[in-house]
């Protein structure tokens, strides 16, 4: 098959996956803008509504872990009475392979996305998706890793979406920047002007 010969179902599935990746990136950018800016930003959030922003940090962190895991879950899940397809990297990889569209570049990027999943999997399984008694009572950090590994994951997610999009004839779509009216940057400006 040549580029563009992908099935309509694969194209539709990929577009839905990419929409989920865009949403994940948007949530991550919001988190970064709030919690990874600098000490001044931390002080601003603490002065404005410390408890609220502390709680929101936990919520966003858990949500990001859950969404990363969802996009990198296995292609199928066992459910009562059978199996269910999951719209994930593995599902798209299998679809590309089945249609003769898999290429080494996508295999490589896909592997890196799955490797990153291993870094967040324990946290997802023990503290976000479930409440593992031993992990909860230990009250220790699980799955801690460097900021650069997170950045690499999001860069690889962009590369994966672009490579798959090009391979199936949908094309690339840069979603690394999504600022707009009413976003977190506007919130920060308002908070700064009120203090």
Instruction: State CA 42 to chain mean position distance.
Output: 24
182 DSSP 8-state letter:
T
Mean pLDDT of 106-123: 94
pLDDT tens-digit series, residues 38-70: 889 999 999 999 999 999 999 999 999 999 999
Distance separating alpha carbons of residues 141 and 178, to the nearest angstrom: 31
pLDDT tens-digit series, residues 12-44: 999 999 999 999 999 999 999 999 988 899 999
Q: Is the pTM of this model over 0.85?
A: yes
Q: What is the mean pLDDT of the chain?
A: 92
Confidence at residue 195, expressed as pLDDT on a 0 to 100 scale: 64
**In DSSP terms, which residues pair with 78 in a beta bridge?**
83
> What is the three-class DSSP state of 142?
coil
Task: Give the contacts of 98 (CB within 8 A, at least 6 positions apart).
Answer: none
Mean pLDDT of 156-178: 95
> What is the three-class DSSP state of 81?
coil
In the predicted model, is pLDDT for residue 178 greater than 80? no
pLDDT tens-digit series, residues 87-105: 999 999 999 999 999 999 9
Confidence at residue 159, expressed as pLDDT on a 0 to 100 scale: 98
Distance separating alpha carbons of residues 30 and 23, to the nearest angstrom: 11
3-state secondary structure 42-57: HHHHHHHHHHHHHHHH
Distance separating alpha carbons of residues 121 and 84, to the nearest angstrom: 20
């Amino acid at each position: 098959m040549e580029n563009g010969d992908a099935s309509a179902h694969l194209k539709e599935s990929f577009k839905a996956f990419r929409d989920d990746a865009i949403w994940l990136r948007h949530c991550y950018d919001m988190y970064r803008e709030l919690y990874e800016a600098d000490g001044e930003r931390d002080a601003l959030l603490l002065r404005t509504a410390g408890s609220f922003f502390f709680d929101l940090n936990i919520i966003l962190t858990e949500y990001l872990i859950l969404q990363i895991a969802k996009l990198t879950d296995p292609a199928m899940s066992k459910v009562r009475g059978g199996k269910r397809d999951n719209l994930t990297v593995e599902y798209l990889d299998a679809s590309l392979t089945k249609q003769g569209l898999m290429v080494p570049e996508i295999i490589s990027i896909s592997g890196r996305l799955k490797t990153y999943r291993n870094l967040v999997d324990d946290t997802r399984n023990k503290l976000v998706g479930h409440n593992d008694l031993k992990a909860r009572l230990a009250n220790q950090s699980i799955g801690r890793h460097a900021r650069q590994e997170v950045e690499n994951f999001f860069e690889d997610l962009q590369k994966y979406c672009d490579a798959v999009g090009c391979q199936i004839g949908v094309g690339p779509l840069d979603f690394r920047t999504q600022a707009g009216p009413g976003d977190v940057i506007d919130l920060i400006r308002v908070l700064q002007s009120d203090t």
